Structure 1
Amino acid sequence: MKLLSVAIPCYNSAEYMDHAIETLLTGGKEMEIIIVDDGSKDDTRKIADNYAAKYPDIIKSVHQENGGHGEAVNTGLLHATGLYFKVVDSDDWVNEDALRQVLDKLQELAEDGQSLDLMIANYVYEKPSINKHKVMDYKTALPKGKVFTWNDIMHFKQSQYIIMHAAIYRTKLLKDCGLKLPKHTFYVDNIFVYQPLPFVKTMYYLDVNLYRYFIGREDQSVNEKVMLKRIDQQIRITKIMIECHDMSQIKNKKLRNYMTKYLCMMMTVSSVYLIRDNTKESLEKKEELWDYLKKADKKLYTRINNMFLGRSMNLPGKAGRKIVDIGYKISKKIYGFG
């Protein structure tokens, strides 16, 4: 069995996918790299097939009709045979030295018989256009150097939510929990991280800067203008996450609090963009989203509405607009644009 399966969702990625693949290849034969061509119209298919022919023991080339990022992740997981699973987007890459440390630690834990459900590593916002990068770590939120549980987690800052770029899940856990991302929808990475959380019993934080998250393409889903255009998809993802779990059944208090704050963040992001758009239609969508939460889980609605960010999304006047600006700055930190 391979140690780590990595899915690379690709759609018209011919110009930049090589970099992601080449950095992952440094992991050697412990790696399984699954290139998922999501109905591309450029040379993505050809490039993927060439890599698979050159590295048949490491790379799989899979082709499908266009189904969007989420469906490409679903396909990658379906074909994954490694002990652990990670997603690397085709315009991103990994640090080779950090990858080696991740593989060594996963192997060490496996050999010691320690069951691990989730490994978390740092990620880096890369903005080549202004020669800037920003490391996002979990030093103040998670214990280092040991396998830990939800009881051991500490305080998460707004910028420290565990996102797809930081997560390496046990493959069997993802399959057993029934993870299936929606087709033709952006921002599915939030579901990828959020839905499996109640099934996670053991974690390990490795303080290395593994994932390099490229920021700068105009058509990128986290670009502010693009997010405004796709706000309906952001809302859809938020609603799916609300329906994912009955929060009253999450018995671990720290896990329940973390998941509630994560949902509060999702509600805030959607609300901020709808308020900033400031049209009648957008403001009605904001009200509808909060009503949806209230009808789905009144206790959860009350908890989120009593949080500072949740409550601030419904404040009127100048004070309300000022708080929305704060929420917007938090959104920028979470998504790395601007």
Structure 2
Amino acid sequence: MDKKEKLLTISIAAYHVEKYLAKCLESFAYRDLEEELEVLVINDGSGDAINAIAMEYVTKYPKIFHLIDKKNGGHGSTVNRGIKEANGRFFKTVDGDDLVAKEGLYHLIDLLKRTDADVVVSDYETFDDRTGQTLERIVMSPKECISGNSYVWSDVCQKQYFVMHSITYRTSLLKENPISFSEHCFYVDAQYCLFPVPWIRKAAFLKETVYRYRLGMTTQSMDICNMQKNCAQHEKVLDSLLNCYRSYEAIVDTATKAYMQKGCAKFFVSQIKIYLSFCPDKERKQQIVKLDQKLKKEFPAIYDAVANKSVRLLRKCHYHIYTIASIACRRAYGLKGVHYDKKSDL
């Protein structure tokens, strides 16, 4: 592999994305970026088809693309490996079934050349898997922040919570601190957003769309049926976020602490929604009550940071409206077959 330092490393998680990978890689295939850009295609144990697609780009653009073929370890393992192998001053992760916008990529690289920020936050958009049509642009840049400028992290972090698709980190921040993401596990994007936070000192914002996130695939981990199936993994990630907060709450500044509380609270609400999405029964209700009471006892600041109206109403009603909330949740997700024992005290 070419060990010359680059400006930006893109780590692409490639696991059974044969249908989409070529389009993903094509969004980085620009010869005038050969000196700045490094793209690591990390085949996470999904066979020769991924390697064949990746090698077409390695052969055609050897200064940009590099193939890493490894045993399956999940999304977290691809990010861990990407960080280890990265030669870029900055690091961004992209899923193999997504892509980037050309104009946004060029604007990002231009900003990275001159910024002193530890994290660069850009806008992103979603698009439909079937039609390719843009569905929504998600604005991540605070209105009062000037595109391209850098700001003290504690001055701006309370204005928005930044998601994986919007984030580009300074690579040294990831390499030089005790940051590692769970392997053989879904939902590590939440770790990616939170674990590096204690070491961020400056942030820059790019008011351009860089990441394009594909929606509409039933195989996606965020599909509610898959979230039900992977509920235990979601619980594992929630525990890891709470442990991260516990480890650093005493040493980070007040604004950063509040930011971490917000991130944990958001993921906690997602966990409650998974529980509510199952057919209502006593066991599921008890899971909600137990988890909420644990949060209140062990992490009162995160408990108070929960802003979701439905969860707050559940608490206010002492969970007596659990069955109604569960049915409403299932209907919102389009789930059928709401069966429960009306005689039971839910």
Give the number of aligned pairs. Answer: 322
Unaligned residue ranges in structure 1 (runs of 5+): 110-114, 332-338
Structure-2 separation of matches of 1:251 and 1:30:
33
Aligned to 2:182: 182
Q: Does 1:57 align with 2:63?
A: yes
Could you tell me how far 1:321 is from its partner in structure 2? 4.4
**Between structures 1 and 2, the one with greater helix share:** 1
Who is 2:341 aligned against?
none
Aligned residue in 2 for 1:5:
9
**Cα separation, 1, equivalents of 2:208 and 2:191:** 24
Question: Would the aligned equivalents of 2:269 and 2:306 in 1 still touch at CA under 8 Å?
Answer: no
| Cα deviations by residue, 1:240-292 (Å, 9 ceiling, x for unpaired) | 00001335314422222221111111111110220231233333333343354
CA distance in 2, matches of 1:263, 1:65: 31
> CA–CA distance in 2 between the matches of 1:229 and 1:141?
39
Structure 2: 5+ residue runs without aligned partners? 334-346
Task: Kindly provide the amino acid, as one letter, of the partner of residue 189 in structure 1.
Answer: D
Q: 5 Å matches for 1:173-252?
A: 173-246=173-246, 248-252=249-253
The DSSP-based 3-state class of the residue aligned with 2:239 is helix
Following superposition, the deviation at residue 139 of structure 1 comes to 4.0
Q: Is the 8 A contact 2:14 2:41 kept in 1?
A: yes
Residue 136 of structure 2: which of 134, 142, 146 is its match?
134
**Counterpart for residue 86 of structure 1:** 92
State the partner residue of 2:254.
253
Residue 39 (structure 1) aligns with: 45
SS in 2 for 1:249: coil
| Paired position in structure 2 for 1:70 | 76
Closer, same or farther: CA 327–12 of 1 in aligned 2, 3 Å: closer
Contact 1:141 1:154 in 2 (8 A): no
Q: Within the alignment, does 1:119 sit opposite 2:123 as a pair?
A: no
Q: Which of these residues, 279, 288, 291, is aligned with residue 289 of structure 1?
A: 291
Give the alignment's TM-score, normalised by structure 1.
0.86
The structure number with the bigger radius of gyration is 2
Q: Give deviations 1:21-67, integer Å, cap 9, x for gaps.
A: 11122343310100000001350022223322332221111011111
Q: Which moved more, 1:122-131 or 1:73-82?
A: 122-131
Q: Contact 1:235–1:289 (CA<8 Å) still a contact in 2?
A: no
Partner SS for 1:177: coil
Percentage identity across aligned positions? 26
Aligned CA RMSD, in angstroms, stands at 2.8
Q: Residues of 1 paired with 2:188 and 2:7: CA distance?
A: 25
Summarize the Cα distance change of 1:251–1:80 in structure 2 as closer, same or farther, 3 Å threshold. Answer: closer
Q: TM-score, normalised to structure 2's length? A: 0.84
- Distance in 1, Cα, partners of 2:162 & 2:109: 20
Shift of 1:308: 5.4
Paired AA for residue 273 in structure 1: I
Partner SS state of residue 243, structure 2: helix
8 Å CA contact retained: 2:125, 2:134: no
Matched, 1:148 2:154: no
What's the secondary structure of 1:207's corresponding residue?
A: strand
Superimposed CA distance per residue, residues 1-35 of structure 1 (whole angstroms, 9 cap, x where no aligned partner)? 20000000111122110111111223433101000
**Worse-superposed segment, 191-200 or 281-290:** 281-290
- The residue matched to 1:258 in structure 2 has which SS? helix
Amino acid at match of 2:267: M
Match of 2:140, SS? coil
Partner SS for 1:15? coil
